[in-house]
Structure 1
Amino acid sequence: MQKNNPRDHYGRDSGQRAEPATLTVLTSVRELIVTGRVPAGTRLAAEAIAKELGVSRTPVRSALAVLTAEGLVSYHINRGYAVRDITLRDILDAIEARAVLESRACGLSIDYGWTIGELESLRNMVWQGRAIVDRGEWSEEIEGVWYKLNRDFHSMVVRVSRNLAIRNAIRVCLIYPVFGDIARLCPAVAPYVPQRYRIVPTAPPEHICNSQADHEAILAAIDAEEAAVAEQSMLVHVMKSKNRLATVTTRR
Structure 2
Amino acid sequence: MVGQANEGPEVLADPQHAEMTTHTVLSKLRELIVTGKIAPDTRLRAEALAEQLDVSRTPVRSALALLSAEGLVSYSVNRGYTVRPVTIRDIFDSIDVRATLEALACQQSVERGWSEQDLDQLANLSRQLRAIVDKGEWSETIEREWYEINRLFHRLIDRAAQNAVLRNTIRMTLIYPVLGDVARICPSVAAHVPQRYRQLSATVPDHIRESQLDHERVLEAIRAGDGIEAARLMSAHVLATKARLHAIATLR
TM-score normalised per structure 2:
0.90
Deviations 1:91-141 (A, max 9, x none): 000000000000011010000011011000000010111111111111111
1:93 and 1:251 mapped to 2: Cα distance? Answer: 15
Structure 1 residues 16 and 188, CA gap change in structure 2 (3 angstroms): farther
Query: CA contact under 8 A between 2:136 and 2:204: conserved in structure 1?
Result: yes
CA drift at 1:18? 5.9
CA drift at 1:169? 0.9
Query: CA contact under 8 A between 2:105 and 2:161: conserved in structure 1?
Result: yes
Deviations 1:141-197 (A, max 9, x none): 111111111111111111100111111111111112310111001111011000010
2:244 and 2:87 mapped to 1: Cα distance? Answer: 16
Range 123-132 or range 49-58, more displaced: 49-58
Query: CA contact under 8 A between 1:34 and 1:177: conserved in structure 2?
Result: yes
Which fold has the larger relative contact order, with Cα–Cα distance below 8 Å and residues 6 or more apart in sequence?
1
Identity of aligned residues (%): 55
- Say whether 1:234 aligns with 2:234: yes
Output the amino acid matched with 1:217. R
Structure 1 residues 23 and 111, CA gap change in structure 2 (3 angstroms): same
1:19 is paired with a residue of what secondary structure? helix
CA drift at 1:56? 2.5
1:223 and 1:31 mapped to 2: Cα distance? Answer: 33
1:220 and 1:86 mapped to 2: Cα distance? Answer: 36
Query: CA contact under 8 A between 1:211 and 1:237: conserved in structure 2?
Result: yes
- In the alignment, structure 1 segments of 5+ residues that lack a partner are 1-14
1:214 and 1:16 mapped to 2: Cα distance? Answer: 34
- In the alignment, structure 2 segments of 5+ residues that lack a partner are 1-14
Partner of 1:222: 222
2:101 is paired with a residue of what secondary structure? helix
- Say whether 1:155 aligns with 2:155: yes
- Say whether 1:104 aligns with 2:82: no
Partner of 1:11: none
TM-score normalised per structure 1:
0.90
- Say whether 1:174 aligns with 2:185: no
Deviations 1:187-228 (A, max 9, x none): 110110000101111111110010000000000001111111
Query: CA contact under 8 A between 1:194 and 1:251: conserved in structure 2?
Result: no
1:250 is paired with a residue of what secondary structure? coil
Aligned residues: 238
1:199 is paired with a residue of what secondary structure? coil
Partner of 2:203: 203
Partner of 2:24: 24
Structure number with the higher helix fraction is 2
Structure 1 residues 177 and 18, CA gap change in structure 2 (3 angstroms): farther
Partner of 1:123: 123
Partner of 2:11: none
1:17 and 1:159 mapped to 2: Cα distance? Answer: 20
1:132 and 1:246 mapped to 2: Cα distance? Answer: 27
RMSD: 1.7
Range 27-36 or range 239-248, more displaced: 27-36
